[in-house]
Structure 1
Amino acid sequence: MAALAHRIVSAAVVAATMSPVDTFYPAALNDTSYITNSSIGTYGGTYSAPANKLSGGSPYGVYDYCTMPHPRVSEYTMPSDPHAKLVHLEYMQRHQRRTMYNLAPGGENQPFDCSTFEGFLYGASTGAADAIPMYADVYTDPANPFVDGLPYVNTTCFFPQLTTGGLLDGIQHGRDLWALYGAKLGIIPRSINEHVWLRSTSSPLTQQSAGGVTHGIWPSHSGAVPLRQQSGGVDTVNSGYPCDARSSTLASIQATDAFQAHLDVTADLRAALGDILGATDSDWQSTFDHFSDNFQARLCNGYQLPCKFTDPSKCVSAAQAEEVFRAGDWEWQHYWRNNALAQQYIQLTEGLFIGEIIGRLQAATTSKQQYAYAHTFIHDNDLGPILGAFGISQMRWPAMGSNIAIEIWESKGSYYARVLYCGHVMRTIHGDLDWMPVNTLVNILEPYVPTDIVAQCNA
Structure 2
Amino acid sequence: MAFRVTLAVASAVSTLALLAAASPADTGAQTDNAYSTGIKSFAFDDAGYTYCNPGYPQTESYAPLPDAQLQLVQVVVRHGDRTPVHQLPNDDTTWTCDGIEEDIYLHAANQPERNNTGSYQQVIEIPTWNKKYGFAYQLWKGTCDFGELTDHGKLQHRTLGARLRSIYVDKLGFLSEKLLRKSEVYARTTYIWRTKNSAESLLGSLWPDRGFTPDVAIPIHTYPQQIETMYGNSDACPAIRKITANITKSDQYQEFLEDQGPLMARLASIFGINGNSWRDTWDGYFDVLNARECHGFQLPCDHSADSVKGSSPACATAEDAAQVRRNSHYELMLKYRDHPLAQNLTQLTIGSFWGTLREQIDSHIAGKAGDLKFALYSGHDSTLIPMLAAMKASNHNMLWPPYASNIVLELWKKSDGSRVVRVLYNGQVLKLQKGHEWCDLNACPVDTFFSHIDQYIPTDIATQCTA
Deviates more, 1:428-437 or 1:269-278: 428-437
Give the 5 Å matches for 1:82-97.
83-97=67-81
- Rounded to whole Å, the distance in 2 between the matches of 1:41 and 1:145 is 49
In structure 1, C-alpha distance between the alignment counterparts of 2:274 and 2:225, rounded to whole Å: 32
- In the alignment, what sits opposite 2:325? 325
SS at match of 1:320: helix
8 Å CA contact 1:181–1:188 kept in 2: the answer is yes
Q: Does residue 405 of the first structure (1) align with residue 405 of the second (2)?
A: no
Residue 357 (structure 1) shift: 0.8
Q: Distance in 1 between matches of 2:463 and 2:57?
A: 39
Change (3 A) 1:308 1:439: same
Which of residues 279, 302, 305 is equivalent to 2:273?
Answer: 279
Q: Distance in 1 between matches of 2:110 and 2:155?
A: 33
Check the 8 A contact 1:32/1:262 in 2, yes or no: no
Shift of 1:33: 5.2
Q: Tell me, yes or no, if structure 1 residue 414 matches structure 2 residue 418.
A: yes
- Are the aligned partners of 1:94 and 1:380 in contact in 2 as well (CA < 8 Å)? yes
183-192 or 94-103: bigger deviation: 183-192
Preserved CA contact (<8 Å) 1:200 1:376:
yes
1:165 to 152, 160, 178: 152
Q: Which of the two has higher C-alpha Rg? A: 2
1:130 shift after superposition: 5.3
Structure 2 partner of 1:136: 123
Range 185-194 or range 347-356, more displaced = 185-194
Contact 1:32 1:330 in 2 (8 A): no
**Contact 2:46-2:399 within 8 A present in 1 as well:** no
Correspondence 1:442 to 2:431? no
Mapped contact 1:69–1:402 kept (Cα < 8 A): yes
Q: C-alpha displacement at 1:147, in angstroms?
A: 6.4
What is the alpha-carbon distance in structure 2 between the residues aligned to residue 211 and residue 411 of structure 1? 33
Matches within 5 A, 1:62-77: 63-77=49-63
The answer to whether residue 108 in structure 2 is matched with residue 125 in structure 1 is yes
**Could you list the per-position Cα deviations for residues 248-304 of structure 1 after superposition, in whole angstroms to 9, with x for gaps in the alignment?**
011111111111111111111011111111023222222100010011111122323
Q: Secondary structure at the match of 1:126?
A: coil
1:253 to 240, 247, 251: 247
Q: 1:163–1:195: structure 2 CA closer, same or farther, 3 Å change rule?
A: same
The 8 Å contact of residues 84 and 410 in structure 1, kept in 2 or not, is answered as yes
Q: CA deviation at 1:215?
A: 1.1
Q: Tell me whether 1:379 sits opposite 2:380 in the alignment.
A: yes
Contact 1:201 1:229 in 2 (8 A): yes
Instruction: After superposition, give the CA deviation of every residue in 1:159-193 in whole Å (9 maximum; x if it has no partner).
Output: 11001111111111110110011211233322342
Equivalent in the alignment of 1:12:
none
Residue 392 of structure 1 is matched in structure 2 by: 393
2:82 corresponds, among 86, 98, 104, to 98
CA offsets 1:358-389 (integer angstroms, 9 cap, x no match)? 11222332312232111100111111111111
* Deviation for aligned residue 1:402: 1.1
CA contact (8 A) 2:329 2:399 kept: yes
> CA offsets, 1:58-115, max 9 Å, x none?
xxxxx33111112120232332x2x21111111100000000001223x224221222
Instruction: Assess if the C-alpha contact under 8 Å between 2:393 and 2:431 holds in 1.
Output: yes
88-97 vs 341-350, greater mean Cα deviation: 341-350
Change (3 A) 1:332 1:259: same
Which residue is equivalent to 2:224? 231
Cα contact 1:36–1:323 (8 A) shared by 2: no
How far has the Cα of 1:36 moved from its partner?
8.5
Instruction: Name the counterpart of 1:9.
Output: none
Aligned twin of 1:458: 466
SS at match of 1:308: coil
Paired residues of 1:254 and 1:260 also in contact (CA < 8 A): yes
Note if contact 2:247-2:253 (Cα within 8 Å) is conserved in structure 1: yes
Partners of 1:417 and 1:434 within 8 A in 2:
yes
SS at match of 1:75: coil
Distance 1:146 1:41 in 2: 50
**Cα pair distance change 1:133/1:72, threshold 3 Å:** farther
8 A contact 2:29–2:45 mirrored in 1: no
Matches within 5 A, 1:417-432: 417-428=421-432, 429=436, 430-432=438-440
Does the C-alpha gap of structure 1 residues 385 and 28 become closer, same or farther in structure 2, counting only changes over 3 Å? farther
Report how many residues are paired: 415
User: What's the offset of the Cα at 1:313?
Assistant: 3.2
| CA–CA separation in structure 2 for the residues paired with 1:233 and 1:280 | 28
3-state SS, counterpart of residue 99 of structure 2: coil
What CA distance in whole angstroms lies between the structure 2 residues aligned with 1:257 and 1:270?
18
Q: 1:178 aligns with which of 161, 165, 169?
A: 165
Residues 345 and 143 (structure 1), Cα distance of their counterparts in 2 relative to 1, 3 Å cut: closer
TM-score, structure 1 as length reference: 0.84
Distance 1:335 1:37, change over 3 A: closer
Deviates more, 1:401-410 or 1:199-208: 401-410
Amino acid of the structure 2 residue aligned with 1:235: E
SS in 2 for 1:420: strand
SS in 2 for 1:253: helix
**Residue identity opposite 1:401 in structure 2:** A
The letter of the residue matching 2:314 is K
Q: Is the 8 A contact 2:75 2:407 kept in 1?
A: yes
- CA 1:149/1:86 → structure 2, altered by over 3 Å: closer, same or farther? closer
* SS of match in other structure, 1:134: strand
- 1:202 to partner: Cα distance: 0.2
Identical columns (%): 29
| 1:42 CA displacement | 9.3
**Structure 1, unaligned runs of 5 or more:** 6-22, 46-62
